[in-house]
């Protein structure tokens, strides 16, 4: 083929594609040149580290996440990005957890062992905590007040400690574990209603006999202690915690319950059989000394967003910022199975890797004198798996004014293929692109047409999607402030939030192509004359 004709044709095509974004053919050729480092080999180099077993699933507030943060910081520094947080790359997050502090439960003056004989549900403890002492308790069966059966008949529970079975009913001695989500939700609702009944009738506390505690694993112990329930430290959250309405609750295992019931000359099994055979309550006063106490304490958690800044070249436009994000945290370790590491290679090691690759491409362009006109903030955030906490913190404590932020491009899972696209894997889901800005939506589509020609699947690009993906990743904390966003996503797969989400299952050629799409979209956004126009309200209605 005639080389002159070929080069002329390519230039013409690039010009036609560039018109809508005011890009010259030379600018487009430059973009292609510096995209070369966004390749599968470099992707593997980063992801094989970030999603390794050594990083222990990168759970927020744990060693693996700190290791990932250090890796990203060192990489940002090595390629020449600046630390924009008073010269540093870390934006510390005011993150705390509330943990139980030395819960106590005694029977007849003898202290029981926490997380063996009893547990205290952390959600039922306020910051002030609770304490009670009593010389008698009321056993009230299954804690039910229903038509034809009432464990509380002729009983005034006010100011009393009540002992009930945590689950089950008068017609059967125990209930099987709920088999599905709906059944579990129904069972939890029933338990809450029983406790709420006692709270409404001003009982002092409740002791729940719970056979599921007869064998406690480490995961359950941590859950009971409140470990992992992270929240942002703020006046609003502190006030909310202070106003929480709780009711003193202690759950005991069967052996501990039998020790308590010995004072009445009975056992758990005997009482269940009596109620089941007669269909009548076996409520009674038991003379025995009990005491209990628990208090929550606030524990500071180390967590940080990692920021790398590339200043724009245009004296005027450089004050405007494009933010490119991916969350580097995952869900950490599990206590079950032989493989205990939730590596999070796709979720979101792949997105984090994409941010690193794109950052490298743009810094190489700047080093060659082809830097972007606008500035770019490359930010890997933490706490996404805990409720989008890292991006929420940034949106409330921005390093650069939000009014100068033109767009957020968020990358969350770009390394796998979902079942719907197994036959045609060259795709990416685009979410949020037209929610606030028709202009941004057009820019994203145009970048794809110019450079990649991938299938941009808009299936989830709406607010009524049952999966609610628009609200489930870090872009939303920008969108809620009126900043237009695009969320790049490959969809869920069978290893989602499972130990099987490993590096060996990543399609590195696809990861690189998807990262290139984000790069080209970013290239156009940071070099075009005008920022994307926000022409829609948060509810999708046109701005007037």
CATH code for the domain in which residue 274 is found: 3.50.30.30
The verdict on 462 and 486 lying in the same domain is yes
Residue 284's closest CA among 273, 297, 301, 271? 271
Domain boundary among 275, 299, 323: 299
Q: How confident is the model at residue 216 (pLDDT cuts 50, 70, 90)?
A: confident
60: domain CATH number? 3.40.630.10
The verdict on 196 and 316 lying in the same domain is no
Residue 9 lies in a domain: no
**CA dihedral sign, ordered 396, 398, 401, 404:** negative
The verdict on 170 and 199 lying in the same domain is yes
CA-to-CA separations, 225 to 94, 218, 479, in angstroms, rounded: 21, 11, 35
Q: How confident is the model at residue 294 (pLDDT cuts 50, 70, 90)?
A: very high
Residue 4 lies in a domain: no
Residue 522 lies in a domain: yes
Residue 62 lies in a domain: yes
Q: How confident is the model at residue 420 (pLDDT cuts 50, 70, 90)?
A: very high
Q: Burial, 435: exposed, middle or buried (Cβ in 10 Å; 0-12, 13-18, 19+)? A: buried
The verdict on 284 and 346 lying in the same domain is no
- Which residue range is the domain that position 286 belongs to? 98-299
d(CA 9, CA 199): 78
The verdict on 360 and 497 lying in the same domain is yes
The verdict on 383 and 466 lying in the same domain is yes
Residue 443 lies in a domain: yes
d(CA 306, CA 268): 54
Q: How many domains does the chain have?
A: 2
Question: Which pLDDT score, from 0 to 100, does residue 220 have?
Answer: 61
The verdict on 108 and 218 lying in the same domain is yes
The verdict on 216 and 278 lying in the same domain is yes
Is the confidence at residue 385, as pLDDT, over 70? yes
d(CA 476, CA 487): 9
The verdict on 260 and 248 lying in the same domain is yes
Question: Which pLDDT score, from 0 to 100, does residue 335 have?
Answer: 83
Is the confidence at residue 178, as pLDDT, over 70? no
Residue 532 lies in a domain: no
pLDDT per position as a tens digit, 427-447: 999 999 999 999 999 999 999
Domain boundary among 299, 321, 340: 299
Mean pLDDT of 326-344: 95
The verdict on 116 and 72 lying in the same domain is no
Residue 12 lies in a domain: no
Q: How confident is the model at residue 238 (pLDDT cuts 50, 70, 90)?
A: confident
Question: Which pLDDT score, from 0 to 100, does residue 21 have?
Answer: 53
Question: Which pLDDT score, from 0 to 100, does residue 11 have?
Answer: 40
Higher pLDDT, 467 or 297: 467
Q: What percent of the chain has pLDDT over 70?
A: 91
Question: Which pLDDT score, from 0 to 100, does residue 187 have?
Answer: 77
The verdict on 62 and 119 lying in the same domain is no
Is the confidence at residue 326, as pLDDT, over 60? yes
Taking the model in full, what pTM does it have?
0.84
Q: How confident is the model at residue 7 (pLDDT cuts 50, 70, 90)?
A: very low
Mean pLDDT of 354-361: 98
Domain boundary among 299, 322, 337: 299
Residue 303's closest CA among 209, 429, 392? 392
Residue 521 lies in a domain: yes
Residue tagged 């010389």 (tokens)? 135
pLDDT per position as a tens digit, 442-501: 999 999 999 999 999 999 999 999 999 999 999 999 999 999 999 999 999 999 999 999
Mean pLDDT of 377-405: 98
The verdict on 411 and 435 lying in the same domain is yes
Q: How confident is the model at residue 2 (pLDDT cuts 50, 70, 90)?
A: very low
Q: What percent of the chain has pLDDT over 90?
A: 78
């Amino acid at each position: 083929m005639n080389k002159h004709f070929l080069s002329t044709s390519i230039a013409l095509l690039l010009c036609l594609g560039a018109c809508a974004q005011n890009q010259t053919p030379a600018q487009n050729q430059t973009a292609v040149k510096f995209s070369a480092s966004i390749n599968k080999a470099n992707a593997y180099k980063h992801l094989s580290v970030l999603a390794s077993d050594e990083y222990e699933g990168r759970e927020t507030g744990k060693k693996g996440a700190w290791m990932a943060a250090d890796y990203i910081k060192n990489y940002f520094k090595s390629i020449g990005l600046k630390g924009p947080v008073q010269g540093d790359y870390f934006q510390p997050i005011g993150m705390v957890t509330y943990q139980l502090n030395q819960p106590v439960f005694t029977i007849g003056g003898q202290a029981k062992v926490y997380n063996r004989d009893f547990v205290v549900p952390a959600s039922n403890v306020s910051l002030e905590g609770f304490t009670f002492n009593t010389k008698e308790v009321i056993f009230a069966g299954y804690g039910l007040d229903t038509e034809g059966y009432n464990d509380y008949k002729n009983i005034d529970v006010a100011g009393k400690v009540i002992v009930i079975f945590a689950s089950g009913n008068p017609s059967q001695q125990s209930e099987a574990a709920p088999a599905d989500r709906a059944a579990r939700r129904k069972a939890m609702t029933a338990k809450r209603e029983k406790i709420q009944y006692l709270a409404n009738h001003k009982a002092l506390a409740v002791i729940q006999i719970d056979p599921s505690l007869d064998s406690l694993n480490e995961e359950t112990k941590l859950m009971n202690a409140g470990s992992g329930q992270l929240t942002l430290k703020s006046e609003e959250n502190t006030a909310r915690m202070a106003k929480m309405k709780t009711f003193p609750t202690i759950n005991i295992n069967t052996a501990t319950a039998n020790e308590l019931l010995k004072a009445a000359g009975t056992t758990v099994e005997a009482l269940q059989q009596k109620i089941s055979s007669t269909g009548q309550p076996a409520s009674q006063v038991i003379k025995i000394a009990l005491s209990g106490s628990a208090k929550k304490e606030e524990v500071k958690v180390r967590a940080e967003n990692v920021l790398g800044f590339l200043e724009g070249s245009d004296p005027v436009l450089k004050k405007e910022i494009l933010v490119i994000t991916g969350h580097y945290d995952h869900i950490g370790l599990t206590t079950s199975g032989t493989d205990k590491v939730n590596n999070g290679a796709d979720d979101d090691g792949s997105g984090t890797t994409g941010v690193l690759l794109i950052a490298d491409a743009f810094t190489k362009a700047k080093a060659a004198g082809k830097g972007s006109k606008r500035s770019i903030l490359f930010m890997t955030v933490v706490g996404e798996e805990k409720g989008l906490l890292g991006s929420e913190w940034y949106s409330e404590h921005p390093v650069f004014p939000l009014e100068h932020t033109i767009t957020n491009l968020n990358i969350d899972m770009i390394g796998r293929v979902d079942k719907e696209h197994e036959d045609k894997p060259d795709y990416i889901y685009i979410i949020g692109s037209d929610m606030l800005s028709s202009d941004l939506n057009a820019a994203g589509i145009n970048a794809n047409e110019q450079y990649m020609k991938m299938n941009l699947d808009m299936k989830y690009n709406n607010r009524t999607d049952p999966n609610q993906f628009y609200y489930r990743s870090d872009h939303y904390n920008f969108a809620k402030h009126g900043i237009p966003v695009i969320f790049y996503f490959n969809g869920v797969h069978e290893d989602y939030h499972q130990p099987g989400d490993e590096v060996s299952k990543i399609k590195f050629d696809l990861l690189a192509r998807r990262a290139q799409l984000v790069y080209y979209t970013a290239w156009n956004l940071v070099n075009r004359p005008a920022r994307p126009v926000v022409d829609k309200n948060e509810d999708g209605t046109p701005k007037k």
